[in-house]
Amino acid sequence: MVELETTVAIEFPQFPKLPAELRLLIWQFALPHRVFEIRRETVSIRQDGEADVTKELDHDAWRVRSSDLVAVLLAPPAIRSVCREARRFASRTGSWKCVGSRPRGTGRVIRLATWFDSSTDTLCFDDSAIQNVPVETTERNGLSIPHVTNPAVTRFYFASSPSSPICISLAALAGASGKFFVEQWKRKRGFWSGVPHYQFYHDSILMHLGRSPKVHEIFGKGTDMCHTLLVDAQDRGKLRQLRKLYVEESDPAFFQRRVADWLEDIINPEEGYVQQCFKDLKDLWLKGQEDVPSSALVLSPDRANIQMRSLIEPGAVLHTIQKFDHAHDWCKETVKAMPDMQLVVHFRLCITNHDHERDQKTKSLEN
């Protein structure tokens, strides 16, 4: 019996001879699908569009990268280093985007930029970036011009065609920023203009993991690694995979059983997680309306009486969001105008490699 030796090809010299349409299709599939988060410390812009390094910028977090909450800048995709054709293809819809600056010495700054591809990457806004929408006034030629620092301004740096998908935390729809989103949707311009796909999330899970092959399989590796992952809440197979990864790969010092149980509840359809999230989305959309009539009933959670409660602070527990009577005619008509949004679960890979941390601790103990 003759045994055949299995070989794996690591080169494909006939690739340049393929039809151009097929080569471009291969490059398209090779592009990574990543998420870039706009956070409070990520973008700081003056009214003229130039980066402003004097306000609303957490320099220390950018410099030291010691915070788990810092947005991670995306590197150019790996295919840009393959050949000239791949580089040109990746640059069709992808480019460097300025997202702020940090100081370097006296009177000098370093501009921070991320690679962003509007055809494959998603912009993600959490509540830390947009929970406050302060109104400022600029005087020019004797005229007072009011302007708002809001997420729409940050899209100045990401304006391209086609526009990228956008994901927003449920907490970001609370308060003044919620009213801003509703108003922008009614105008069909500004922040929502040209957005092909909308997503929202309520729950965010921080993964204190190393960089094992299992982690690389989900979050990617090298320049294509993405520290933020948005998973469809209906994709229970993917959620189970992430729960298993969290249980098996988490740094013991940071592992929390309640997070694992929390993920189990999200996966279990009997818990009604998806239905509850969409109810809360509708409640916040109703609250964000400028013309909420006094006759629109706002009920207590037990529906025992009518009460007017202030909205919760961003990040509070899910079931304390102010409830509306969805059977009310005004509520039903208002909800019909709400954009079609997909519910996702937000996972963030800790920027610290916890395999490296454990190795360092082991070496110190051995010494």
Using CA atoms, how far apart are residues 24 and 87, in angstroms rounded to an integer?
11
User: pLDDT by residue (tens digit) across 187-230?
Assistant: 766 677 778 899 999 989 999 999 999 999 999 998 999 999 99
pLDDT at 363: 44
User: pLDDT by residue (tens digit) across 308-334?
Assistant: 543 334 334 444 567 777 877 788 888
For residue 155, is pLDDT > 70?
A: no
pLDDT at 180: 77
b/e 17-34 (16+ beta carbons within 10 angstroms → b): eeeeeebeeebeeebbeb
Using CA atoms, how far apart are residues 210 and 224, in angstroms rounded to an integer?
17
Cross-strand partners of 285: none
The two structure tokens encoding residue 323: 């409830």
Closest CA to 36 of 115, 153, 102, 150: 115
Cα end-to-end distance, the chain, whole Å = 55
Q: Which of the residue ranges 26-35, 110-119, 181-190, 216-225 would you say has the lowest mean pLDDT?
A: 181-190
pLDDT tier, 295 (very low <50, low <70, confident <90, very high otherwise): low
Other beta carbons less than 10 A from residue 277's beta carbon: 21
User: How does DSSP classify residue 51?
Assistant: B
User: How large is the average pLDDT for residues 222-247?
Assistant: 94
DSSP assignment of 292-320: --TTS-EE-TTSSSB---PPPPTTS-GGG
Using CA atoms, how far apart are residues 347 and 205, in angstroms rounded to an integer?
5
Where do the domains of the chain lie? 29-272+343-366, 286-340
pLDDT at 91: 92
pTM, rounded to two decimals = 0.77
Percent of the chain with pLDDT over 70: 63
What is the amino acid identity at position 211? Answer: R
